[in-house]
Chain A
Amino acid sequence: MDTFLQQLVNGLTAGSVYAVVALGYTMVYGIIQLINFAHGEVVMIGAMVAFTVINALAGGTLPPLAVVLVGALSAIPVCMLVGYLMERLAYRPLRRAPRLAPLITAIGVSIILQHLAMLVWSRNVLAFPQIIHNPTFAIFGATTISAVQIAIIGICLAMMGGLALLVYRTPLGTAMRATAQNPQVAGLMGVDVNRVIAATFVIGAALGAAAGVLFGTYYGIAQYTMGSILGLKAFSAAVLGGIGNIPGAMLGGVLLGLVEALGAGYIGDLTDLCSYGWIGGLMSERCANGGHFILFGSNYQDVFAFIVLILVLVLRPQGLLGERVGDRA
């Protein structure tokens, strides 16, 4: 039970970050049906910029929380600029091209961003300086939650709420939803489609930057390679919720975080052959005295996201909250 609750807390934390990154994928997909492959790299750049600033300011006179805030606030504009340039230079010229063309440029952009980041920050892992006092609170039995976890969940919820307000309550949001439904008609109604699409990229990048900072703070490290796997997981989350659907991305992110954490927590026990009577009997020397014969341990954690992705696409391609649409190809 303790493992379960603890993994629930951990999964919720990671999941809320996935949800925020997934929003970046789903907003762009919703509006121009492009999988913005390079979104994971934007998240990485956000984390790297913030870590550089935080490391430079750490040990100065500013209070720790202000340092982190300054780090995040410097990462967000950088990522917004990257998101804008990406859309302008690599995707906009291809808006009328066959579907695979922008996907291939997106892969190219991702490779370029990743290696430019390597040029700037080298291959080294940037570490988060130990400046934040991070107390943990017992919430139920031996289950604990740390201050950083509470902050991450809270900030992610606030960002999701803010985005929902933006999309459903402002003129820009209305224009975005109109463009997603039919760009041509939206254009005829006076919506500046190009501006709206650019704004979508920029907002997604800003959310991604913030998520990158949170993710880096949670795990304490950032590296130029962190974007691809995080991006893939977030994309899986977006598909799980129903790609193009904003509440879906939020739900998918949190669910994926939970699946991953619970999976990693239990897969070792579930695949320990010694706990299955007759099979364990076959390997009595390995299982004697409480020994284990674990087929798959928690090091398979990263596999869960892909398995979820494949299962969703095969069984319910429209995702949990998505609508049934024709072939999306």
Chain B
Amino acid sequence: MKTPARVWLGFALVGLGLLALPFALAYAGTAWVRIANFAILYVMLALGLNIVVGFAGLLDLGYIAFYAVGAYVYALLASPQFNLHLPFWIILPIGAAVAALFGVILGTPTLKLRGDYLAIVTLGFGEIIRIFLNNLSRPVNITNGPQGIAGIDPFSFGTFSFAKYQSLLGLEFSGPIKYYYLLLAAVIAVIVINLRLQNSRIGRAWEAIREDEIAARAMGINTRNLKLLAFAMGASFGGLAGGMFSALQAFISPESFVLVESIMVVSMVVLGGMGNIWGVIVGALLLSFVPEVLRWTVSPLQETLFGRQLIEPEVIRMLIFGLALVLVMLFRPAGLLPSAVRRRELAASGQAPLVDARL
């Protein structure tokens, strides 16, 4: 099949737009470049979670734990905490691998659980990880407890550091802009992996498990290994994003990995459309940018109207997440950009009698 020239032109335009974006954002303020960087991290997280929730149909409410694992692996190996300063291209794969291991640790006891029970167990797992991060400062100080770890190394190659300002070919490259390109490259790699996965043998096996696990097993699919693989792969993307978060922030503490963060990522996947890669990306971008735009518009508006902040931007953000979850489920259960399979499913289940839906 030959891809028409129009499609390539479209890709080229989007690519150019993405390359030029940070300079446009920098014009509005470096803060916006940082916001874009975090949006990319959320896209990565949402895509990782989409493997577990969207492809394999396992609702994971503790996904942020893997992000935390990746972040702490990076922080411990590249900070004054243990006086280790390994280069990032060694640590990031380690972080992804450790996160994948945790994914398997979570997956193994929960293989038999389905649906809502799994959701609660994963939630508990996320909380356990956070409680450990909070308390592993005694008797041996590993995580530095609630104070968190500061002074984390930025990414660097030899003398080239991603955190430093640089000017090249007449263009001004601030730290966040350099990170932007790195993150963009990483997220494109993640997207490509996801797209390739979806229609692979593995991707189709996950879909079969999601639709009907017993039938899938009867067809000769090794459901145990494939579910573990979904957990491990989803977790490894989370770990990768966590390592990048660590370097970007230069400071992490358990407070960045609370339950609400997991729910945010779930909202992004649900809003965009579980199982549809482009939908999930749109969901993650929307839920990253809309609250920020509101933060910059609603707060000044409140100041001028009432002379003080009535509603904190953080609260508005969380209310948006909550409303997104409820409204999407009520009015567009397959998400903004539903995957073809989900659309079929939901159309079919519309007429199902009450009793069938309960089984």
Q: Determine whether B321 belongs to the interface, using a CB cutoff of 8 Å to chain A.
A: yes
Contact assessment for B329 and A101 in the assembled complex, using a CB-CB cutoff below 8 Å: yes
Per-residue CB proximity of B94-128 to A under 8 Å, as 1/0? 00000000000000011011111101110111011
**Taking CB as reference atom, which chain A residue is nearest B357?**
A96
**Residues 153-204 of A contacting B (Cβ, < 8 Å):** 182-184
B318 & A115 in contact (Cβ 8 Å cutoff): yes
A35 within 8 A of B: yes
- Chain B residues closer than 8 Å to A138, beta-carbon distance: none
A109 and B114 alpha carbons, distance in the complex (Å): 22
Which of A96, A306, A313, A327 is B127 in contact with, Cβ under 8 Å? A306
B47 contacts the other chain (Cβ, under 8 Å)?
no
Q: Which residues of B contact A95 (CB under 8 A)?
A: 354, 357
Contact A104 to B329, CB < 8 A, known contacts A98-B346, A303-B128, A306-B128: yes
Chain A interface, number of residues (Cβ within 8 angstroms): 61
Instruction: Report if B5 contacts A (CB, 8 A).
Output: no
Q: Is the CB of B266 within 8 A of A104?
A: yes
Task: Tell me which of B124, B134, B350, B357 contacts A309 (CB under 8 A).
Answer: B124
Give A96-138 as 1s and 0s: 1 = Cβ < 8 Å from B's Cβ atoms.
Answer: 1111111111011111101110110000000000000000000
Within the complex, what minimum Cβ distance (angstroms) separates A271 from chain B?
9
Number of B interface residues at 8 Å Cβ cutoff, please give it. 54
Contact B326 A108 (CB under 8 A): yes
- Determine if A300 is an interface residue (Cβ-Cβ < 8 Å): yes
CB nearest neighbor in A for B115: A329
B353 in the interface (beta carbon within 8 A)? yes
The answer on a CB contact under 8 Å between B59 and A108 is no
Tell whether, in the assembled complex, residue A306 and residue B326 are in contact, meaning their CB atoms are under 8 Å apart.
no
Q: With A100-B116, A104-B270 known to touch, is A111 a contact of B333 (CB < 8 Å)?
A: no
Cβ–Cβ contact B326 & A310, under 8 A: no
Asked if residues B59 and A235 are in contact (CB atoms below 8 Å), the reply is: no
Given the contacts A101-B333, A111-B318, A300 and B131 also touching, CB distance less than 8 Å: yes
Cβ B117 vs Cβ A306 within 8 A: no
Q: Which of B112, B125, B321, B324 contacts A317 (CB 8 A)?
A: B112
Q: Does residue B2 face the partner (Cβ distance < 8 Å to A)?
A: no
Residues of A within 8 A of B267 (CB): 108
B311 touches A235 (CB 8 A): no
Question: CA–CA, A93 to B332, complex, Å?
Answer: 12
CB atoms of A33 and B358 under 8 A apart: yes
A112 to B321, CA, bound (A): 8
| Interfacial residues of chain A within 310-329, with CB under 8 A of chain B in the complex | 310, 313-314, 317, 326-329
Q: Which of A12-20, A209-217, A255-263, A290-298 contacts B (4 or more CB under 8 A)?
A: A290-298
CA distance A182 to B358 in the complex (A): 10
Q: Do A294 and B330 contact each other (CB < 8 Å), given the known contacts A115-B319, A306-B127, A313-B121?
A: no
Beyond known contacts A102-B329, A103-B116, A108-B323: 13 more, CB 8 A cutoff? A35-B119, A90-B326, A95-B354, A96-B353, A109-B326, A110-B322, A115-B318, A119-B311, A286-B139, A302-B131, A328-B114, A328-B117, A329-B115
* Across the A-B interface, the 9 shortest Cβ-Cβ residue pairs: A108-B325, A329-B114, A111-B322, A306-B124, A112-B322, A329-B115, A108-B326, A115-B318, A105-B329
Q: B interface vs A, CB < 8 Å?
A: 59, 61, 109-110, 112-117, 119-121, 123-125, 127-128, 131-132, 134-135, 138-139, 259-260, 263, 266-267, 270, 311, 315, 318-319, 321-326, 329-330, 333, 345-346, 349-350, 352-355, 357-359
